[in-house]
Chain A
Amino acid sequence: MTLLAIRDLYLHYRSGDRVVHAVDGVSLTIENKGEAVGIVGESGSGKTSMATALMRMLPRNVARFDGSILLDGQELTILSDDDFRRQIRWKKIAMVFQGSMSILNPVLRIGFQVAEPLLAGGEVSKREALQRAESLLERVGLPAGIAQRYPHELSGGQKQRVVIATALIMNPDLLILDEPTSALDVSVQAQIMNLLKDLKEDPGISMIFITHDIGLASDLCDHIAVAYAGQHAEFGSAERVLLDPHHPYTNLLLRSLPRLHETEPPQAMPGQPPDLTRPPAGCRFHPRCPWAFEVCFSEAPPEYPMADGGHARCFLNDAAVSGDRFQAHLRHWAESRV
């Protein structure tokens, strides 16, 4: 059965007398256990907002929150806050927050911090909770005895492992990771990525992996969603999105990456990210898109379905609208494949 199906999710914030369209019609599916979906995109594209909507950990200034979130066939949006907290948050869906390494409590022993959600639930004894914390700490690759230590005695990579263990303590089916390695060195990052690969396989945790680095997403994710201005400009299998992108933004994102063994410098992304209180009319990407044509300025492209089950929100995929531009751009894309 489909693990997670998000349909037409909206999350808007009030900001003064304006509305921030942080999540503005997002759909996303995770079919299987142990599958990882990457959400990549620039700062401010609404990645964290979508995650907080899934965790229902919303700020007070929410202006709009609706859509459908099916987890294992259960509609989550109709649950009361109490039921959501009792049944879903941490138990079914857990999250490693952006920058959470730095919010470990400095005066609590590691083992206790990891066990805390279990203790708060009050369903197991303290002894049992601590035991489970210790075995999880071992599972995420930390040396024995770390449960007795304090956060300041740990390296950055070790702290991130602790945070991951904390998220796993209630045996969730879905783990959301928001930029879990962005404060770490590449070598430590690689160690954490290997750990996440292990957890995907055994016990088969499904993941939503949020990052601004599409290269890093390819290290873990079976599917990739490319977030732009509160929507997903493109979604599909990692193979399709990385090797055969059908949205100009994805294409430019790939070309803005530095490549180790290429002598051509990366190309900076043109323009600035849009102001989400006033998303551009027409295609949201049109002000920055080198390939924009008439219709892009006035009409919003729908999600054109792709053969891999994904989609791309770009008129170039509609030969009836874009005419021979379509072929030209496909050729261009083909030439700039990774």
Chain B
Amino acid sequence: MLVEVTGGHVVFSTRKGVFRSGQVYALNGVELTIRRGETVALVGESGSGKTTLGRLTLRLVEPSQGKVFFDGKEITHASESELRPFRQRAQIVFQDPFSSLNPYMSVRELIEEPLIIDGEGSSQERRSRVDAALEAVDLLPASRFAAKYPNQMSGGQRQRVGIARALVRDPDYIVTDEPVSMIDASSRIEILALLDRLQRERRMAFLFITHDIATARYFADRIAVMYAGTIVEEAPAGAVIDTPMHPYTQALIAAVPEPDPANRFKRRPVVPGEPGSADGRVVGCPFYNRCPHRMTGVCDTITPPLAEWESGHRTACHLYDSRYATLEPQSGSPLVRTDLQYSPMNGR
């Protein structure tokens, strides 16, 4: 196992107003493993903890509970100096092409910077490594792109620079964090195809954070679905999309609009209510208050563990637990209810 998080909790302290301070429970007991050369996609709504989990695997945040391993070595509370060799092997790529690059640095300076920080090679060696990284991301001719500044490039080219900056250290593990963005679907596909190729060439492991579950299918081996700081489902990519088990995943998939002229005559089934909150500790299932199938007495008191109900397909939901099979869920199948949708009358 290259990357492993067990029982990971992350709590942030925030200031709410002048005298009150609050706690944000960003991760609540997360289990995640990534093998060498594997791509895992992390999907889920905004604020569900995807970025925090990505940062936890990179030990850019420290867990309040739980453990973090990299390549078999525990790094849960390792100090910055202990983390040094690890920092070179694990990288993050921010996919927001407009805010993540220093506008005053040339492409060469941007990509060379990590090597200078690491104290790597002579300036001659660094030069050729920067060129090689630019070539790897198809920014050709490398010498011409190396002289440019971020504002002289398109969004897609800036993203490639971000990737080259991570690649130059020749890492084993990369986290890519894609914001809910306006980037055209087709330019995103291009970047993903590039990452896919690099991964096969170099056998890197990827944690691919995205809002686009449909794209995740093609570029990930497994998909993990997050809700309110926990992973609620995790399985091979095709299985998550074709046979989703968790009610939240089912709702997530039902909400994806595929081009079909019949769509406009149907209302889309949606989960009522507002996104999951990280303001307090949740007793029971974090999805309880929005779940169309909740079983009162169980779901609101017992936290469902992420369990493997089917081979290779894990989900955190009591509906699949035979102990509760006699209980009547709030609704029968189909699992995604179409009657619980937004209506101007019930004003959700």
Contact = CB atoms under 8 A, between A and B. Distances in A.
Interface of A: 36, 42-43, 138-143, 155-158, 179, 182-191, 193-195, 197-198, 212-222, 237-239, 242-243, 253-254, 256-261, 263, 265-269, 272, 338
B182 A212 contact: yes
B214 A258 contact: yes
Nearest to B347: A141
Interface in B246-301: 251-261, 263-264, 267-271, 274-275
Contacts of B261: 218, 237-239, 242-243
B264 A179 contact: no
User: Nearest 4 pairs between A and B by C-beta?
Assistant: A269-B186, A190-B255, A258-B214, A238-B261
Given A185-B46, A195-B342, A257 B185 contact: yes
Contacts of B253: 260
A219 B256 contact: no
A186 B44 CA distance: 9
Q: Is the interface of B mostly helix, strand, loop or mixed?
A: loop
B133 interface: no
B341 interface: yes
7 contacts: A43-B182, A43-B184, A185-B275, A212-B185, A219-B264, A222-B264, A267-B189
Interface string B18-46: 00000000000000000000000000011
Given A182-B182, A187-B270, A198-B344, A256 B255 contact: no
A179 B46 CA distance: 18
Interface in B294-335: none
Nearest to A45: B184
B189 A155 contact: no
Contacts of B211: 185-186
Contact of B271 (A184, A187, A193, A254): A187
Contact of A266 (B218, B242, B251): B218
Contacts of B238: 263
Contacts of A193: 257, 268
A303 to B, nearest CB: 21
A254 B259 contact: yes
B193 interface: yes
A210 to B, nearest CB: 12
A156 B46 CA distance: 10
Contacts of B151: none
Contacts of B255: 186-187, 189-190
Given A186-B211, A186-B252, A268-B186, A155 B270 contact: no
B189 A266 contact: yes
Contact of A219 (B180, B242, B268, B347): B268
A194 B258 contact: no
B164 interface: no
B134 interface: no
Given A191-B270, A213-B185, A263-B238, A218 B344 contact: no
A201 to B, nearest CB: 10
A138 B347 contact: yes
B342 A216 contact: no
Given A187-B271, A194-B341, A338-B260, 7 more contacts: A158-B274, A183-B182, A185-B211, A217-B259, A218-B264, A222-B264, A265-B189
A216 B264 CA distance: 10
A276 B213 CA distance: 33
Nearest to B216: A258
B212 A256 contact: no
A187 B47 CA distance: 13
Given A42-B184, A188-B275, A194-B268, A265 B260 contact: no
A179 B269 CA distance: 21
A194 B256 CA distance: 13
B339 interface: no
B257 A184 contact: no
Given A215-B257, A219-B257, A256-B186, A191 B342 contact: yes
Contacts of A143: 347
Interface string B202-232: 0000000001111101100000000000000
B190 A268 contact: yes
Contact of A139 (B187, B189, B344, B348): B344
Contacts of A219: 257, 263-264, 268
A305 to B, nearest CB: 20
